[in-house]
Copies of this chain bind each other. A is one copy, B any other.
Amino acid sequence: MKQPKGAAGTETPPLRSVGRPRSERSETAILNAAMDILIEKGYRGFTIDEVVSRASVSKATIYRRWPSKELLAVAAVAGFPELHAVDTGSLEDDLYTIVSEFADVLQNTALGAVWPSLVGERSRNEELKAALDEMTEHRRTPTRQAFERAIERGELPEDLDLALAIDMIMGPVLLRLLFQNADTTPAALRKIIIAVLPALGFKPAKKKPAVRRRRAPKAPA
């Protein structure tokens, strides 16, 4: 591995000095091309050769950065829209917003197709596993924060198992979105949340006054 860049934590003591520096332009072009292809054709139709021709870049330039097709795919997919942090003041609404956006991304970008394809190799490829797990963890952050805020507000027990809470929300959603022909309408998503919350010991702090927030994807007050 040669510092593929987006990788783990502590990086590049800024000793990049000798030789021609890597082209940022190429990097962006590669990632964009990869994303586009992934969206258009899914992982199966994703080809290094096509990235090459769309990004007007040479194969060597790609392989210099990412040692395999899979890892490039992860890098590209990591550039897909993130889940936005939301804070509506209501845990239920926060989760609903997050879950809705998650569903949206999985269904309307290629993430829903690419992620499982890559996950299938996760257990046989350590590098892939690392890259994938980092991405996965990153996408859990907004949900974690929503729970943490609810704990601060006293709506959830202090000793809540956060990882479990996130899994209990995201697990069923993921299952429905990727593995089954199942109901993923907004109503169904909200029903999942409503069913799960009490199991976590959730008690709304006070009467929420008339919050009309159907979706607040960006960041309300």
Distance between Cα atoms of A10 and B107 in the complex (Å): 30
Q: Flag the segment in A27-35, A111-119, A145-153 that touches B.
A: A111-119
In chain A, positions 106-164 with a C-beta closer than 8 Å to chain B are 112-124, 129, 132-133, 136-137, 161, 163-164
Does any Cβ of B come within 8 Å of A186's Cβ?
no
Contact of A116 with B119 at beta-carbon distance under 8 Å, contacts A167-B182, A196-B199 already known? yes
| A52–chain B nearest beta-carbon distance, Å | 13
A31 to B91, CA, bound (A): 49
Chain A interface extent, by class = 35 or more
The residue among A114, A117, A118, A176 with the most chain B CB atoms within 10 A of its own CB is: A117
Q: Which residues of B contact A168 (CB under 8 A)?
A: 168, 171-172, 192, 195-196
Contacts A42-B120, A116-B119, A191-B164 given; does A175 touch B178 at CB 8 Å: no
B contact residues around A198 at 8 Å (CB): 198-199
Q: A167-B172, A175-B167, A195-B200 are in contact. Are A120 and B124 (CB under 8 A)?
A: no
> In whole angstroms, what is the CA distance A176 to B198 when docked?
21
Copies assembled: 4
Residues of chain B contacted by A74 (CB below 8 angstroms): none
Q: Is A103 an interface residue (CB 8 A)?
A: no
A185 within 8 Å of B (CB atoms): no
- A121 engages B117 (CB within 8 Å): yes
Specify the chain B residue showing the minimal Cβ separation from A174. B175
Q: Which of chain B's residues have a CB closer than 8 A to the CB of A181?
A: 129, 133
Distance in angstroms between the alpha carbons of A132 and B123 in the assembled complex: 21
Per-residue CB contact flags for chain A residues 4-30 toward chain B (1 = under 8 Å, else 0) read: 000000000000000000000000000
Contact check, A164 vs B179: say whether CB atoms are below 8 A apart: no
A206 at the interface (CB under 8 A from B): no
Closest to A140 in B: B180
A-B contact pairs, 20 of them (CB 8 A): A44-B120, A115-B120, A115-B179, A118-B120, A136-B179, A136-B180, A164-B191, A164-B192, A167-B171, A167-B172, A167-B192, A168-B168, A168-B171, A168-B192, A168-B196, A171-B171, A171-B174, A196-B196, A198-B198, A198-B199
